[in-house]
Amino acid sequence: MTRLQARRVPPRPQWQLERQGLPPLLARLYAARGVETKSELDYSLGELIPPDRLTNAAAAAALLADAIEAQARILIVADYDCDGATACAVGVRALRAMAGDSGATVDYLVPNRFTDGYGLSPEIVDLAAAKSPDLLVTVDNGIASLAGVARANELGIATLITDHHLPGDELPGADCIVNPNQPACGFPSKCIAGVGVMFYVMLALRAELRARGWFGESVGIPEPNLGALLDLVALGTVADVVRLDRNNRILVGQGLKRLRGGRVNPGIRALFSAAGRDPAKAGGADLGFMIGPRLNAAGRLADMSLGIEALITDDEARALNIARELDRLNRERKDIESDMREQALAHLEAIDEESGAAAAPAITLFHPEWHQGVIGILASRIKDKRHRPVFAFARADVANADGELKGSGRSIPGLHLRDALDLMSKREPGLLKRFGGHAMAAGATIREADLPRFGELFARIAGECIAPADLTHTLETDGGLEEGYFSIATARLLENEIWGQGFPAPLFEDEFIVENQRVLKEKHLKLRLRKGPLAIDAILFNFTHAPGAAIRAAYRLSVNEYNGAQSLQLLIEHFEDASANG
């Protein structure tokens, strides 16, 4: 069940924002999202939190500067999702630019999701050792890699951890750790993505090398413009679905500004081309739903080094060839995901009929044929459909005597997923072989024989933590929209603002008369709606039932472009029958 609830709009901030020059609609929307003054919407680079606020950023910069001056071999150990890939690309591009022809070398290594697992494991360190690195730099991983760092120490390899995941009770014994979520770090933006952390470290490194007189005629290395990396930072930030606090909105806004201005990384330009999108019209939704998934497809079905190569090459033709392969992998991923989703829903419907399990506070899913690289998307889809925390498991591809399962979880407000796993590990020692993650997304590895025990305990802890009211899906809206705002101009106005996780794009609700309806491609519903004197086109993707003569709908404004013509179209996210109210 979904309940529509309009956000409260505090009148004084709305009035203040209007007085400061914001259009009334934007003033209303921003006030409802906690913005009180127009200055909070200043997304210029000068408004970023300074790097010196990030604990150990200066120490990391000194470590990297020493390595560059010593002509060391630096090896970045990446992660196999979009955040990890973009963080790796930021590191490779920035470090190579700052090292120049000094003799220092910069390379990368990304674990394979299926054979290597996540993070800086001892096995990955041994694999890295074959490249004879002097310094390992992790991006978007490492905060839980106690054994991996210990192995690096044994081999005499220095380690710099850059990460944003929540730490465990013990930190790895690395030479330096940069993570805003580590104890005693006072960096205000705790929700910065892994790519954002690496970008901050690169800012600190540039300042350190500048102070050492590294740039200029004496050494012959020009000072790089790190702003050229902001399209990568924006992509990783949006794709990792971190909360867009003001600092993250600045990073995303600056990245979108570069995209719209044509100053685009060749790999990202190629990905836009493969997706049939124009970067000059880029918005956050393009990064999150078009570009990010294509990059992620490499890590889900193949090897993320393919995606990283797209992001670090300056060869436009090579970038386009890789982007086309990533597009093919993404289409394959969609087909696999569709089959898995149908199996999962059929399984849940069978359970519902048998035992009424629809009321269960959490869902655990497994099928022996599911693809390990797609279970995270599956968990997210089922979570959205059932409004329950979900863990989906697949068999590990590597032969394992324990019958190992890899799981990916997604949560709803009210259950901090990583904390729930930690509680599970304390109540049932040995149940979880490995786990980690965030509040809304996490991963776990268990034995197949322990799956029933995991499912029971996961549901029990979810039931303890989630208030009954939170099990009803509440869709927050921005209330009704006056007739004068139903226009392409309003849709464009909203498109140009910065929206995302924790700072949601506007969603309105109104009642409409349904004048016409037809099904497109056997799964999408095209509607002709009327509101007073207005006749408006609308579309509902993946609909499950047809509307009546009148509906109350939650919708977004969009611009439909077809054969060179533009028209306003409503994207309907939810509707309820309103015929009885007519």
Beta-bridged to residue 160, according to DSSP, are 137, 176
**Do 514 and 566 have their domain in common?**
yes
- Single out the residue of 406, 379, 381, 375 nearest to residue 390, CA to CA: 379
Q: What is the spatial distance between Cα 82 and Cα 285, in angstroms, rounded to a whole number?
A: 15
**Do 399 and 463 have their domain in common?**
yes
Residues of the chain above pLDDT 70, percent: 97
Q: What is the spatial distance between Cα 555 and Cα 428, in angstroms, rounded to a whole number?
A: 44
**Do 430 and 488 have their domain in common?**
no
Average pLDDT, integer, range 70-97: 97
CA separation (Å) from 208 to 90, 204, 211, 252, 354? 18, 6, 5, 25, 65
Average pLDDT, integer, range 419-426: 96
Residue 3 domain-assigned?
no
Q: Tell me: pLDDT of 396 over 90.
A: no
**Predicted TM-score of the model (pTM):** 0.93
**Do 271 and 319 have their domain in common?**
yes
At 582 the pLDDT is: 44
At 112 the pLDDT is: 85
**Do 174 and 279 have their domain in common?**
yes
Range of the domain at 143: 47-328
At 355 the pLDDT is: 60
Q: What is the pLDDT of residues 447-484, one digit of tens each?
A: 999 999 999 999 999 999 999 888 999 999 999 999 99
Question: Which helix (H) or strand (E) element contains residue 185?
Answer: none
Give the CATH number for residue 479. 2.40.50.460
Residues of the chain above pLDDT 90, percent: 86
Give the CATH number for residue 388. 3.10.310.30
**Do 394 and 452 have their domain in common?**
yes
Q: Tell me: pLDDT of 401 over 50.
A: no
At 349 the pLDDT is: 87
Instruction: State which of 471, 498, 526 marks the end of a domain.
Output: 471
List strands edge to edge, sheet with 390-395: 363-366, 390-395, 404-410, 441-447, 434-437
Amino acid at position 239, single letter:
A
Residue 25 domain-assigned?
no
Q: Which of 4-8, 417-421, 503-507, 522-526 has the weakest average pLDDT?
A: 522-526
What are the tokens at 185?
């770090």
At 26 the pLDDT is: 98
Residue 355 domain-assigned?
no
Residue 112 domain-assigned?
yes
Mean pLDDT of the chain: 94
Average pLDDT, integer, range 136-163: 97
Q: Calculate the CA dihedral of residues 474, 37, 496, 188 and round it to 10 degrees.
A: -70
Beta-bridged to residue 3, according to DSSP, are 474
**Do 440 and 490 have their domain in common?**
no
**Do 516 and 389 have their domain in common?**
no
Residue 451 domain-assigned?
yes
Phi, psi of 132 (to 5 degrees): 55, 50
Instruction: State which of 418, 450, 471 marks the end of a domain.
Output: 471
Amino acid at position 31, single letter:
A
Average pLDDT, integer, range 341-356: 82
Question: Does residue 358 contact residue 331 with C-beta atoms inside 8 Å?
Answer: no
Average pLDDT, integer, range 25-52: 97
At 580 the pLDDT is: 55
Residue 26 domain-assigned?
no
Instruction: State which of 420, 451, 471 marks the end of a domain.
Output: 471
Confidence of residue 170 (pLDDT cuts 50, 70, 90): very high
DSSP character at residue 291: I
Confidence of residue 351 (pLDDT cuts 50, 70, 90): confident
Count Cα neighbours of 23 within 13 Å in the Cβ-side half-sphere: 9
**Do 366 and 437 have their domain in common?**
yes
Average pLDDT, integer, range 141-151: 96
Question: Which helix (H) or strand (E) element contains residue 290?
Answer: none
Give the CATH number for residue 178. 3.90.1640.30
Q: Tell me: pLDDT of 326 over 60.
A: yes
SS (H, E, C) 314-374: CCHHHHHHHHHHHHHHHHHHHHHHHHHHHHHHHHHHHHHHHHCHHHCCCEEEECCCCCHHH
Average pLDDT, integer, range 268-286: 96
**Do 398 and 435 have their domain in common?**
yes
Q: Tell me: pLDDT of 52 over 90.
A: yes
Q: Tell me: pLDDT of 151 over 90.
A: yes
Residue 436 domain-assigned?
yes
533's CB contacts (< 8 A; 6+ apart) are 483
**Do 492 and 462 have their domain in common?**
no
Q: Tell me: pLDDT of 397 over 80.
A: no
Q: How many distinct structural domains can be found in the chain?
A: 3
Q: Which residue has the tokens 């074959």?
A: 130
Average pLDDT, integer, range 59-80: 97
According to DSSP H, which parts of 356-450 are helical? 375-386, 417-427
At 356 the pLDDT is: 53
Residue 27 domain-assigned?
no
60's CB contacts (< 8 A; 6+ apart) are 160, 162, 176, 178, 201, 204, 205
**Do 405 and 364 have their domain in common?**
yes
Q: What is the pLDDT of residues 98-144, one digit of tens each?
A: 999 999 999 999 998 888 878 899 999 999 999 999 999 999 999 99
